[in-house]
Amino acid sequence: MQTTHLPGRGLVAAVISSLGIRHEGALGLVDTGLYLDLSRVLRNPADDPTMRFRTGLDDDVYAHVLKTPGALTLFNRTAVQLRALADEVPVGRLVRLTVVYQGGRHRSVAAAETVGRLVWEAWGGAYGVDIEHHHIDHPVLASSASA
């Protein structure tokens, strides 16, 4: 697992997890809070042989995902929902978002990073945000069509 920590002046208030839902045990990692399933949206970097074995933390893969029509709208709306949820919980309680796609290396990683940064920026750094990538280091999965 890899974690991006966006520090705040206060406590960590949000944890965003990216998962590869086809990995064994992935469903057990789904936590309370919001859930974003990217199964039917966003460009697939793995379709490009130059990006297949890279991750959503690589600049070109990240940009590829964000260039998908509607991606930024989706991520902005998700960030607004996460902030609204945070407004409803007592200070010191975490809000959570789980972002999933098949393998957890490309799209879910880029989405989790983007939403995390949007939330952190909206809070002006008042609270920290942790972004956990549970399957980023796992092997690339065969496409579900051939699996």
Q: Could you read off the pLDDT of 35-73 as tens digits, one per residue? A: 999 988 887 777 788 888 888 899 999 999 999 999 999
Q: Could you read off the pLDDT of 106-134 as tens digits, one per residue? A: 899 999 999 999 999 999 999 999 999 99
Give the pLDDT confidence score for residue 147 in this predicted structure: 40
Confidence of residue 146 (pLDDT cuts 50, 70, 90): very low
| DSSP secondary structure, 9-27, as one string | SS-EEEEEEEEETTSTTGG
Residue of 74, 90, 81, 76 whose CA lies nearest to 39: 74
pTM over cut 0.85? yes
| DSSP secondary structure, 41-61, as one string | SS--GGGSTTTTTS-TTSHHH
